[in-house]
Amino acid sequence: MPSTALRRRVHRAAGALASAALLLPLLSSGPAATAGEPPSPSALQRDFAAAAERYGVPERVLLAVSYLQSRWDGHGGAPSVSGGYGPMHLTDLRTALAGAQHHSDAAEDARGDASRPVRVAAERALPEPAELPARLRTLERAAALTGRSAEELRTGAAANIEGGAALLAAAQRESGRPASGDPADWYGAVARFSGADDTATATAYANDVFNVIRTGERRTTDSGQTVELAPAPDVAADPAQAAALGLRTADRGLSECPPTVACEWIPAPYEEFGDGDYGNHDKGNRPVSQEIDYIVVHDTEATWDVTLKLVQDPTYVSWQYSLRSSDGHIAQHLPLKDVGWHAGNWFVNAKSVGLEHEGFLTAPDSWYTEAMYRTSARLVRYLAARYGIPVDRQHILGHDTVPGTTTATIRGMHTDPGPYWDWAHYFTLLGRPLTPSAGPDAGVVTIRPEYAAHQPVYTGCVKAGEACAPHGSGAVRLHTAPDATAPLVKDIGLRPGGQDSTTGVNDTGARASTGQQYAVAERRGAWTAIWYLGQKAWFHNPRKEPTAVNARGLLLTPREGLAEVPVYGRAYPEASAYPAGVPVQAVSPLPYKLLAGQRYVVGDRTPGEYYFAPTFDTTGHRVVRGQEEYYEIQFGHRVAFVSAADVRVFPG
């Protein structure tokens, strides 16, 4: 039970912030992309060419900047998480926040360990319009430069591209450089366009844009437009132009980041409050004390400025890194050796790094920018290489795939980043694209729908029971039979009464996500069945439009003679491993069973471990490590653990 002091702090925080956990962008308020007849599939390409000519911007530069902002998508006129509209991501956060909704419905204890008082997130505060920086108001300036109305710039692709071209041309003039036709002369203007207030972030952004120019891109947008930027490998970049902009130098401090990203040290406080209470993280000595095995991908459910205020609140929770949507800037808050309170599962927290991405899980068009995806991928590649973390979905976890620690905590676990995070694109950026690795009779599948075209209906984004706006998704829905009208499979942890799962955007009970691997139970026509939460679960997987690819992998099943084996949400040591003075942690099975004849894909084999850290004074902290070992498995939407002694492992 929370201490009196903690209850007082949480009550004060909730009272101060309750009026505004309203940060979700206007998802369903965005207008349709185009009224009447659909445009020619080459219209957007012509819009870029026309805007580039009108404002004297090299077309390659305009296309590459837009690609890094939006991958040339218009998102139907809906704003991004940072209030950016259209292919050029012109920002108008004031409008985006005006009718935002609040959708957080979980009450997860972020620390996930009974040795400390429960830490439930407070509501998020809505910033005052006057507090918004210039980088979140670029649409206003684009309107002044082009003479276009704000509404045109928000909803019209051609006008939006003109606005972006006008901003680039203005940035070039302000840098004192000529309106050259050579893209290399525009490096400084691109750096300024990023909106970054520090040289390192502006430089990293411009480097990404020029990488796009050199490598080229081609894709079909969300409005069916085909856009192409031919590669120009000889285009040079001149970082000195960014250095001449006079931006601040961010304090890298104790940050631990690869040189390819811009990283700033904004520490989370470690403070003692009395009555044995403290926050907002634990000191550690990783990887000497414990290996770092996981990276957990979150979204913030708040804007950037609010996110930084929260992680600097000593009474709040913590994570290692925050990533900004508009330009991919990274802030680090904890040394990697220390343990953040972020995943709701103490076993996972003690062995993971938490990455919070500026975003909102229930807003399909609260889109994450390409700039953020790319810097996040670079950071994850760096962390994976540093700690030997496999780049797969059993180690690169979504917060929504972290298991509850006990039966009582399952229903409160968070569901971010949700079904609209583009895992396929993310893994391509990680250098591990999700491609087939086995033939048609494989015993393992990797979930892999075509993100943009795969648009299952979700409900509850704005109002309970109401359909969310149609949008691409990386998750497939699981049925009890090979029939779209069959009930969804049940999750007895989420619904102990045995009710069916739902199409709710926060309901993970019948959902398999891109990159997750499952053992095949049966194939029947256009349907594939997998073993999932102790049952056979079917998803539509037609040959011409597959939603999964065949794969290789290790599988496990109960060892001979066992009809079922228990499943756990954490891999804690056996009771005999605990020394005097360290309370024994119950190895509590979850309500699920792994039954004889069923098979699940194997992740790591790990010894039972428990990090005992209940006090501000670290003198008595210690890692308890047992002899009993566990396998991590992809059991349902979330991972789980089984005792190695209970199962046998074999190739899939």
The whole model's pTM is what? 0.90
Is the predicted pLDDT of residue 7 greater than 70, yes or no? no
- Whether the Cβ atoms of residue 538 and residue 525 lie closer than 8 Å to each other: no
- Mark residue 596 as left, alpha or beta (left: phi above 0; alpha: psi -120 to 50; beta: remaining): beta
Among candidate residues 305, 372, 299, 401, the one with its CA nearest the CA of residue 634:
401
Give residue 417's pLDDT. 92
Top-confidence residue, 95 or 129: 95
CA–CA separation, 26 and 22 (whole Å): 10
Q: What is the percent of the chain where pLDDT is above 90?
A: 79
Is the predicted pLDDT of residue 2 greater than 70, yes or no? no
Residue-wise pLDDT for 253-290, tens only, equals: 999 999 999 999 999 999 999 888 999 999 999 999 99
Q: Work out the mean pLDDT of the chain and round it to a whole number.
A: 90
Tokens 């098979």 belong to residue: 599
Tokens of 378: 């670079």
Confidence of residue 99 (pLDDT cuts 50, 70, 90): very low
Give residue 305's pLDDT. 87
Q: What is the percent of the chain where pLDDT is above 70?
A: 89
Angle at 620 between CA 616 and CA 624, to 5 degrees: 115
Confidence of residue 109 (pLDDT cuts 50, 70, 90): confident
CA–CA separation, 167 and 537 (whole Å): 51
Confidence of residue 131 (pLDDT cuts 50, 70, 90): low
Residue-wise pLDDT for 329-377, tens only, equals: 999 999 999 999 999 999 999 999 999 999 877 666 667 789 999 999 9
CA–CA separation, 157 and 141 (whole Å): 17
Q: Helix or strand or coil: residue 20?
A: helix
Tokens of 642: 């089984």
Give residue 112's pLDDT. 84
Among candidate residues 309, 366, 298, the one with its CA nearest the CA of residue 125:
309
Is the predicted pLDDT of residue 517 greater than 70, yes or no? yes
Residue-wise pLDDT for 19-44, tens only, equals: 233 233 333 333 333 445 567 889 99
Tokens of 455: 């648009």
CA–CA separation, 508 and 416 (whole Å): 10
Angle at 40 between CA 37 and CA 44, to 5 degrees: 115
Give residue 136's pLDDT. 87
Give residue 245's pLDDT. 95
Confidence of residue 110 (pLDDT cuts 50, 70, 90): confident
Is the predicted pLDDT of residue 125 greater than 60, yes or no? no
CA–CA separation, 84 and 622 (whole Å): 47
- 231-251 burial by CB neighbour count: b if 16+ within 10 A, else e? eeeebebebebbbebebeebe
Tokens of 583: 């309370």
- Whether the Cβ atoms of residue 427 and residue 433 lie closer than 8 Å to each other: yes
Residue-wise pLDDT for 284-330, tens only, equals: 999 999 999 999 999 988 888 889 999 999 999 999 999 999 899 99
493-514: average pLDDT: 96
Q: Helix or strand or coil: residue 609?
A: strand
Give residue 252's pLDDT. 96
Tokens of 610: 């428990």
User: How far lies 208's CA from each of 117, 276, 372, 484, in Å?
Assistant: 44, 47, 11, 42
Is the predicted pLDDT of residue 17 greater than 70, yes or no? no
